[in-house]
Structure 1
Amino acid sequence: MATLNKIRSKAGLLVVIIGVALLAFIVGDFLNSGHTFYAMNQNKVAVVNGTNIGVEEFQERVKVRTDELQQMYGQRGMTLPEGYVSRINQEVYDQMVNEILLSEELEELGIIVSKEELADLLSGDNISPQVRQYFTNPQTGEFDRQGLLNFMQVVLDPESHGYNTPELLAQIEPQRQMWLRLEQEVKQNRAVQKFANLLNRAIMPNKLDLENSFEDNKTSANIAYALQPYTSIADSTIAVSDGELKAEYNKMKSFYKTPERRSIKYITVNIVPSEADYAKAKEKAEMNESVFATTDDVVAFIANNSDESYDDSFVAISSMPEKMKKFAQTASVNESSPMEFENDTYTMYRLMDTKVAPDSIKVRLLSFQPRSTEIDSVLNVLNHGGSFAELAPKYNGNDEIWLMENMASSVGRPFINKVFSENGNGYFKAESLGGEHIVQILSRTAPVKKAKVAAYVLAVNPSTETHTALYNQLSSYSAANNNAEKFNTGAKEAGYTVNSYECSAEDYSLPGINDARQAIRWAFNADKGEVSEIFTLDNSFVVAALDNITKEGYAPLEQVKDILAMQIRNDKKAEKIIGDLKSKNLNSLAGYAEVMKAQVDSAKFVSFSSPSIAGVGYEPVLSGLAPVSENGKLVGPVKGSRGVYVFTVTDKTVSEQPFDAQTETQKIQQNYGYLINSRLMEVLRDKAEIENTMIRFF
């Protein structure tokens, strides 16, 4: 009983304790369950009018685009340019944002592209220019409709065309993804075109617009003028007050709206060979020089000692690099050239063989999967008069391919050897890296002298020791100068140069560094004053310090005051020059020129519709006044962009072309159409709510 009474006496405290415990339980449960919500909210590249672009979706689109470009460059024997990954990220981001904005507008307006319309653009009578560019023969400039249809059949139904294993399907997947993306682009562009046409119709010019446009363009004037530039008055003689700067800033503020930016200081250390690296490379090159010239197994020697692999191909001597060509033109088989050192590279050649043969061979072919059971029967049909054109759609035919011997690495040495050893023009079988083919030679270029040249190439590269020494030295500096202030002040003594740059979240390069996205991403996720880790960018070590953060908004007065001060000074200079000239009561252009210490110049075809004048530049005051001024009448002094002008009209040309409403309408609509098409997405973006968080991840 005593215990019960004790509990009752403490009831208020007990309620509080239970309440706090319950609250802690609820809050803890919310935080635990909310962690997933928070992660989901953060796991996005952008939010466009409330629609999320997720990181995974974005990465998948980037991968597809990267694979497509890598294959495109690979077909040309090239690799993606350095720094291209950041550009792909930005391209995909822009495309995904545009898709969301357009889909919202198109849905609201009820604009669609029908299946029949899309089919016509992809493979019908009105092929889209985007599709044409992929299937136009670069040598003839002719659109290859059959090649397009064959491609579509394969990528849209690969199993029916022999791609029936995971490995083969993987081979064709990049082309399939490319086609699906192309379909989407064609559909989107057609919808945008409809959207733009709708806007064009909505801004049809009225009668006054047409008449004004005609009047603006029918008169052009030739003028003689004198200019007193603003630079004729020293800036130091024109005072600009803080109040004037502030007033001008408030008037022009909207022109200085800027995105969020980061000001960084950074040090770049180029990773270059040391003296020891040069000495070691020279020793190795000299040791290998005689071995390369005498060895019986050149292929093995190149594989084990050269930076470039051996190319077992005959190449037209005329198309070789200049030094190799000069050697091959006069050398005997097995003769070697002296060792040369240029651009940090040792190079030596050895002539392996020569022959006279066509440089290029044009073929057409049908393609089959490896170990095809059909190829022999199809070959028999062709050799007995069968139609290649009829068989081509079923067997992925291509009726014009130019081959060269140095293409062996991409299509296979046996295939190239087979083609270049054939003498007739009949059909034959040949196996490439991609499968089996029936081939027919259509033509050969004229025989030329060809050579097979082995090249021993040894580049002087920074050693591991050099990498480590450069890295450790920079690492020690950044550790000792671990804030932005010390980072900047201690550099000169340490032998480093500090660079400055103000970057936006969309930048992917820094001055002197092509692909600097890592450093820029760090800057947008760091706190002011922090010093970064060391990045390896463009064959350089880079370390950065975050000097300042400027939030999205308007550039501060301090940052733009020099531009504003110049404008204020020019206005005051114009007022002074005009006042001084008017006080002289001059009545001739020559008199004005003398006082202005200028010469009389001329300009032709000055019209109201063209504010940029040949030989003068952008001067709307002249293009506005000259066409409506009387011949021979002195005009001015007037304030221009570069200075103060005085001019006379020496001649006028008035078009005798009668007013034609239809012609004028077409001209105005063409101008409107250009503006709409070029700025449509910009306008949609300006009015949208876009939260760009890509910088957190990419």
Structure 2
Amino acid sequence: MPKKVFYAEADKLGIKFTAKELSSILSANSQDNPLMQDKSMIDPATGMLDQSKLKEALSNIKKAKGDQLDMIEAQIIEPQKLTSISQKYFALLNGAAYYPSWMQEKDSKENKKFATISYVTVPYNVISDSTIKVTDAEVEKYVANHKDLFKQEAGRKISYVVFSQLPNGADSTKAKELVEVLKNDFQADNNPRNFIARNSSAIPYDSNYQAKDRLQTTKLDSILKVPQGTVYGPYVDGGAYVLAKIISSKVYPDSAKARHILIGTIDPQSGQPLMSDSAAKKLADSINIAISGGASFDAMVKQYSTDQGSKEKGGIYDNFAFGQMVSEFNEFCFTKPAGTRGVVKTQFGYHIIEAMGQKGSSPKYKIAFLAKEIIASEATINNASLEATKASAEKDGAKLDAYLKTKGINKIPLPTLIKENDFSVGQLQDARQLVRWVFEAKKGQVSEPFSIGDQFVVATVDNIYTEGTQDVATARQMAENDIKNEKKATEISKKLGSNPTLESAAAAYQKQVETAGADSSITFGSQLIPGVGYEPKLIGASFNPTYQTKVTAPIVGKSGVYVMKVNSISDKTAETPEAAEAARKERITALRNQSAGNWFEGLKKQATIKDNRSKVY
């Protein structure tokens, strides 16, 4: 779409994306440079692009052909082109935001005056909706007079019924029996790691000690009350039946402080290798020796550490909780006295760690969990499939409704319109195949069962909508309230009469005469009237000098009918030059913000776009 709509418009304005610009972007040491995301392109000594590798990459881009060129276009060139041209186009729009002096003078003049008014509000709810009937002919006429409000896209309305594949009571009982039969053996066993692995536990064995607040399991308080080595359970936790056994407990500090230098062997974000294990260990050992010989730890952090999270803080992690770090790092920091330094290997590489102290202490626990998931059996799934197949055998929506009624099952009507390119249907995610069927089916047709998530879905097409203006049945929901308000306005206005007084209007519906504007809040540019809301007709009438000497006829508003008299139209305090300049800047900012949100939609409206994604996906 950018190529069809945006690029063509940008080209007319002479906005280009050049090869020189691409080369400049790819040569920059910036996070916006896609080459910087490839850690193999980075010189580990400087953290910058390796110039020899950059030269080779740019040469390869120039030489690329066929599929390789297509990939480079899609992943590197096209995103940079779209960003660059968008920024230039938007800069033009920003520069074009213009607030001429004559308009500023006009706005200033309009906002200089403020009105005070007395008014009576007769809200539409004084007449009950149930007393107002709206015919199809009235809806049709209203739609014809307000077509822009009742445009619709092509789509479908459906309803559907679901048959769950989730585990039932029998499946739950089976899972419970699977762990119960292992309980005595689990208690007698002295090798929890092997026992957990041998019996295919859904929760793997963790040999690390954990603080109580880091043990994520239900029934934890009950587990900690049983003696060490005693099995607790079974109990349900996270869709599984679980047995728990305290293997041992120790008192450890609650938090620690340490500083470190990481010689990374792998990038934790991309998974790409940074350095061989042997080279990393050799470098870590040499750095540790250098520090022992008097080299500055801080200087070594800045020069060598690949941990960006602590590099700017001298490698320090302060007050981190027990178990927060990977186990090897955790073990060193929570067991070594302050001042101890050593090289520790973790999954990230080699750390030169210096323990700087610990705080607090409490028991930490090593607990083995044996868990069996409560899963739907083949019989449960087959039964759900069979029930869905029986439902889908009904010939049409009406017969399906009758069949479901005998089963005590309700269909779910989908209130929103399904579009041809949708991938979800209401709460049903990954429902693309269902959407494709919906747009191939006829009204009233019943689908075959679709397996979506953990349920089988059978759907019916309730209505087919073509692009254009809504029909009466569809438009009624939105139009009916407006039509009722129009009828109420006519009835209220008739009762008030063409020449009411404020007092007669108030008496007619037992309302009060109210005032507004004494706080200078009603200006010609106001959007709202305090105590009333958004009523532009009332604001307009507030500045009609005629109504300073007489009461208005009934004014039909958004929320009710109003009768009003203007008490005064006065000038505000003269605006200072500084305030005028601030208002001018505020208006220009508003114009720029408006263009930022609307420019691409404006271009799309000028183009003829046919979305054919549904034919492919």
- What does residue range 542-557 of structure 1 map to in structure 2 within 5 Å? 542-557=457-472
Whether the aligned pair in 1 keeps the contact of 2:156 and 2:438 (CA below 8 Å) is yes
The 1:237/1:447 distance shift into structure 2, 3 A limit, reads closer
Which residue is 1:461 aligned to?
375
- What does residue range 405-420 of structure 1 map to in structure 2 within 5 Å? 406=323, 417=331
Normalising by the residue count of structure 1, what TM-score does the alignment of the two structures yield?
0.68
1:231 equivalent to 2:135? Answer: no
The 1:181/1:592 distance shift into structure 2, 3 A limit, reads farther
Aligned with residue 658 of structure 1, among 576, 582, 601:
576
Aligned with residue 310 of structure 1, among 198, 205, 220:
205
The 1:446/1:603 distance shift into structure 2, 3 A limit, reads farther
Per-residue Cα deviation, 1:186-229 (whole angstroms, up to 9, x for no partner): 76445434322322433412223212333454556676653222
Aligned with residue 273 of structure 1, among 167, 184, 189:
167
Which residue is 2:263 aligned to?
366
1:357 equivalent to 2:242? Answer: no
Structure 2 CA distance, aligned partners of 1:154 and 1:452? 46
1:103 equivalent to 2:4? Answer: no
The 1:315/1:646 distance shift into structure 2, 3 A limit, reads farther
Normalising by the residue count of structure 2, what TM-score does the alignment of the two structures yield?
0.76
Structure 1 CA distance, aligned partners of 2:409 and 2:51? 55
Structure 2 CA distance, aligned partners of 1:275 and 1:425? 58
Whether the aligned pair in 2 keeps the contact of 1:361 and 1:404 (CA below 8 Å) is no
Whether the aligned pair in 2 keeps the contact of 1:240 and 1:569 (CA below 8 Å) is yes
Structure 1 CA distance, aligned partners of 2:459 and 2:451? 12
Structure 1 CA distance, aligned partners of 2:43 and 2:552? 66
Whether the aligned pair in 2 keeps the contact of 1:258 and 1:553 (CA below 8 Å) is yes
Whether the aligned pair in 2 keeps the contact of 1:358 and 1:446 (CA below 8 Å) is yes
- What does residue range 562-581 of structure 1 map to in structure 2 within 5 Å? 562-581=477-496
Pairwise CA RMSD: 4.4
1:538 equivalent to 2:449? Answer: no
The 1:437/1:217 distance shift into structure 2, 3 A limit, reads farther
More displaced 10-residue stretch of structure 1: 649-658 or 373-382:
649-658
Whether the aligned pair in 1 keeps the contact of 2:45 and 2:304 (CA below 8 Å) is no
Structure 1 CA distance, aligned partners of 2:516 and 2:52? 61
Q: Cα offset for 1:641?
A: 0.8
More displaced 10-residue stretch of structure 1: 112-121 or 664-673:
112-121
Structure 2 CA distance, aligned partners of 1:433 and 1:584? 86
Amino acid at match of 1:472: L
Amino acid at match of 1:486: K
The 1:218/1:448 distance shift into structure 2, 3 A limit, reads farther
The 1:494/1:622 distance shift into structure 2, 3 A limit, reads same
1:247 equivalent to 2:141? Answer: yes
Q: Which runs of 5+ in 1 are unaligned?
A: 1-96, 135-145, 161-176
SS in 1 for 2:459: strand
SS in 2 for 1:276: helix
Aligned with residue 642 of structure 1, among 535, 559, 562:
559
- What does residue range 545-694 of structure 1 map to in structure 2 within 5 Å? 545-582=460-497, 585-588=500-503, 591-599=504-512, 605-612=521-528, 616-626=532-542, 637-647=554-564, 654-658=572-576, 662-694=581-613
Structure 2 CA distance, aligned partners of 1:116 and 1:663? 37
SS in 1 for 2:478: helix
Per-residue Cα deviation, 1:249-306 (whole angstroms, up to 9, x for no partner): 2221122222220222311122232332233233334333444444322223333253
Which residue is 2:438 aligned to?
523
The 1:157/1:319 distance shift into structure 2, 3 A limit, reads farther
Structure 1 CA distance, aligned partners of 2:580 and 2:330? 64
Whether the aligned pair in 2 keeps the contact of 1:375 and 1:438 (CA below 8 Å) is no
Structure 1 CA distance, aligned partners of 2:333 and 2:135? 82
Q: Which is richer in helix?
A: 1
SS in 2 for 1:509: coil
Which residue is 1:199 aligned to?
93
Q: Cα offset for 1:182?
A: 9.2
Q: Cα offset for 1:481?
A: 0.9
Structure 2 CA distance, aligned partners of 1:109 and 1:186? 19
Whether the aligned pair in 1 keeps the contact of 2:334 and 2:358 (CA below 8 Å) is no
Whether the aligned pair in 2 keeps the contact of 1:249 and 1:564 (CA below 8 Å) is yes
More displaced 10-residue stretch of structure 1: 393-402 or 468-477:
393-402
The 1:520/1:485 distance shift into structure 2, 3 A limit, reads same
SS in 2 for 1:663: helix
Aligned with residue 241 of structure 2, among 336, 341, 346:
346
Percent of counterpart pairs with the same letter? 23
Per-residue Cα deviation, 1:74-113 (whole angstroms, up to 9, x for no partner): xxxxxxxxxxxxxxxxxxxxxxx34653333333322356
Whether the aligned pair in 1 keeps the contact of 2:261 and 2:301 (CA below 8 Å) is no
Amino acid at match of 1:596: Y
SS in 1 for 2:253: strand
The 1:428/1:120 distance shift into structure 2, 3 A limit, reads farther
Structure 1 CA distance, aligned partners of 2:77 and 2:332? 38
State how many pairs are aligned. 563
Structure 2 CA distance, aligned partners of 1:462 and 1:439? 49
Structure 2 CA distance, aligned partners of 1:103 and 1:151? 36
